[in-house]
Amino acid sequence: MSGTTPETTVQTVSAPTIGSGIDYGRFLDCVHCGLCTSACPTYLETGNENDSPRGRIYLMRGVVDGRIGLTPAVRRHLDLCLDCRSCETACPSGVQYGRLIEPFRVDMQKAEQPGWFQRLVLYGLFPFPRRLRFALAPARLMQRLGLDRVAEWVGLPKLLPGPLGRMYRLLPRLGPQRSALPELLPATGERRARVGLFTGCVGDAMFSEANHATARVLQANGCEVVVPRKQGCCGAIHYHSGSDGPAVAMATRNAEAFPDDLDAIIVNVAGCGSMLKDYRHMGEETAGVDQAAVEVLGEFSDRVKDISEFLAELGLRRPTGEVPWRATYHDACHLVHAQGVRQAPRELLEQVPGLELIPLPESDICCGAAGSYNLTEPEMADGLVARKVAHIESTGADVVVTGNAGCSLQLQAALRKRVRPIRVVHPVEVLDLSYRGVAGASPFEG
């Protein structure tokens, strides 16, 4: 299955240099049993062995060995990987697929000159929340005045080039712009922990309410919350598109921004959390990063916790407000597979009075968001989200709960097209409603 990708200019690079820095033993860990295939979203869609994890490992190893060239066909199969890492969960041999595909694709991307979309949008806009908020201001105004519906009716979004049209269609309903959180928020009641809050970039610009809800829930659970002003983008956008130098610089900035006396660094976006926890690996896999810098990044990563993971470990102060919703939970790939956090969000949600949590079939199969994948691989992304939406509708739920901004964007855009309204929220927003005692809150309010 093919997709439309942003403009790139391919340069001639000697194939044996691609992936040569990867620990070869990681390729040999794969015994090619095929148990990963039933968990791989792209294989489920195409049925092509080259689009399965073991097939891609064969291809990468063949390139490293010099047995095959990095042809357009080989590159296409590797580009189509979502890097959801569901294969790692399914693998009985403990293959670290992410430690294979990520550095290999970094090398692949270095063989290309970034196109206009990558330079101007992925690198120049998304990692900077202030720029992104400014860029979103016209869309926010259009939504408030109802002009977005007029634009849709006359077909204006179809005139936008490729990925920009996709971006427009993925835009959520943008609420009022919220002010930045204070640098220090006190704990409610007895202080149980002192934590830092990672606010991110795209998530902060489009879903700022989730950050405010996260801070309130942490406070309600006895946490003093530090929100460093000097933090920035996690670096995932750059690293996963081959720009490892700037990604390491962003990681270093974040490691230096958070104080040393924190019990944990809390993140509420699964994709960011996975990247933050992988800073040590990124440092090890990037040329020119010395061991001392790797250790600094690693010490930072060791303190990173997803909000659900942290609250489950801390012990949740039981919320008391009724939230009478029929909800289903979608596992964000980079939470359940990359970070191994599966039960914690469910355990927290089960403590909310009135909330009915309905199991979601194929809950841990990717929805097709995968960072910027839904912008660069629209055909595959659309196929996967259609599969996900069908499962969501089968539950009869009014609300989908998920812990990743990318999943929220992808699911909201797809669910807007359905006849029956279904809202998408973050788990922490449900907890926040209960703590604040918003009795009988409708899922379609706010």
Based on the fold, state whether residues 188 and 286 are members of the same structural domain: yes
Residue type, 164: L
The tens digit of pLDDT for each residue in 328-363 reads 999 999 999 999 999 999 999 999 999 999 999 999
Which CATH number characterizes residue 341's domain?
3.40.50.1860
Lowest mean pLDDT among 38-52, 199-213, 218-232: 199-213
Q: Give the span between the Cα atoms of 164 and 170, in whole angstroms.
A: 10
Average of per-residue pLDDT across 131-146 = 81
Residue after which a domain boundary falls, among 113, 129, 162: 113
Q: For residue 2, tell me if it sits in a domain.
A: no
Question: With contact defined as beta carbons under 8 Å apart, do 410 and 371 qualify?
Answer: no
Average of per-residue pLDDT across 382-403 = 95
Is the pLDDT assigned to residue 257 strictly greater than 80? yes
Buried b (16+ CB within 10 A) or exposed e, 223-256: bbbbbbeebbbbbbbbbbbbbbeebbebbbebbe
What φ, ψ does residue 176 adopt, rounded to 5°? -60, 145
CB atoms within 10 A of CB 286: 20
Residue 120 gets which letter from DSSP?
I
Residue 423 DSSP SS3 = strand
DSSP string, 234-263: -SHHHHTTT-HHHHHHHHHHHHHHS-TT-S
CA 95 from centroid of its chain's CA atoms: 22
Residue 264 DSSP SS3 = strand
Question: 220 vs 216, 226, 327, 428, 429, CA distance in Å?
Answer: 6, 15, 23, 12, 13
Residue 419 gets which letter from DSSP?
S
Q: Give the span between the Cα atoms of 309 and 115, in whole angstroms.
A: 38
Provide the domain count of the chain: 4
Based on the fold, state whether residues 295 and 327 are members of the same structural domain: no
Structure tokens at 190: 């007895």
Q: Give the span between the Cα atoms of 404 and 333, in whole angstroms.
A: 9
Q: Where are the beta strands (DSSP E) in 40-175?
A: 112-113
pLDDT at 12: 37
Q: Give the span between the Cα atoms of 232 and 376, in whole angstroms.
A: 24
Is the pLDDT assigned to residue 1 strictly greater than 50? no
Is the pLDDT assigned to residue 114 strictly greater than 80? no
Q: For residue 177, tell me if it sits in a domain.
A: no
Q: Give the span between the Cα atoms of 122 and 202, in whole angstroms.
A: 11
Reported as a pLDDT band with limits 50, 70 and 90, residue 6 is very low
Based on the fold, state whether residues 432 and 334 are members of the same structural domain: yes
pTM over 0.85: yes
Which of 270 and 442 is assigned the larger pLDDT? Answer: 270
Mean pLDDT of the chain: 88
Q: Which of 218, 201, 324, 321 is nearest to 272 (CA)?
A: 201
Q: For residue 339, tell me if it sits in a domain.
A: yes
The tens digit of pLDDT for each residue in 25-56 reads 999 999 999 999 999 999 999 999 999 999 99
What phi-psi label fits residue 443: left (phi over 0), alpha (psi between -120 and 50 degrees) or beta?
alpha
Reported as a pLDDT band with limits 50, 70 and 90, residue 442 is low
Q: For residue 282, tell me if it sits in a domain.
A: yes
Based on the fold, state whether residues 355 and 426 are members of the same structural domain: yes
Q: Where are the beta strands (DSSP E) in 300-417?
A: 304-306, 326-329, 356-358, 399-401
Based on the fold, state whether residues 143 and 46 are members of the same structural domain: no
Based on the fold, state whether residues 109 and 120 are members of the same structural domain: no
Residue 158 gets which letter from DSSP?
G
Look at strands 264-267 and 223-226 and give their pairing.
unpaired
Q: Which domain holds residue 228?
A: 184-312
Based on the fold, state whether residues 296 and 361 are members of the same structural domain: no
Residue after which a domain boundary falls, among 312, 336, 367: 312
Question: With contact defined as beta carbons under 8 Å apart, do 400 and 415 qualify?
Answer: yes
Based on the fold, state whether residues 240 and 191 are members of the same structural domain: yes
Which CATH number characterizes residue 192's domain?
3.40.50
Based on the fold, state whether residues 374 and 408 are members of the same structural domain: yes
Is the pLDDT assigned to residue 221 strictly greater than 90? yes
Q: For residue 242, tell me if it sits in a domain.
A: yes
Question: With contact defined as beta carbons under 8 Å apart, do 70 and 18 qualify?
Answer: yes
Based on the fold, state whether residues 381 and 279 are members of the same structural domain: no
Reported as a pLDDT band with limits 50, 70 and 90, residue 5 is very low
Q: Which of 152, 210, 251, 144 is nearest to 425 (CA)?
A: 210
Residue after which a domain boundary falls, among 78, 98, 113: 113
Q: For residue 253, tell me if it sits in a domain.
A: yes
Based on the fold, state whether residues 296 and 415 are members of the same structural domain: no
Q: Give the span between the Cα atoms of 104 and 126, in whole angstroms.
A: 24
Based on the fold, state whether residues 193 and 293 are members of the same structural domain: yes
Q: For residue 188, tell me if it sits in a domain.
A: yes
Reported as a pLDDT band with limits 50, 70 and 90, residue 134 is confident
Q: For residue 267, tell me if it sits in a domain.
A: yes
Average of per-residue pLDDT across 175-203 = 91
Q: Which of 81, 70, 50, 77 is nearest to 110 (CA)?
A: 70
Q: Which of 330, 138, 323 is nearest to 213 (CA)?
A: 323
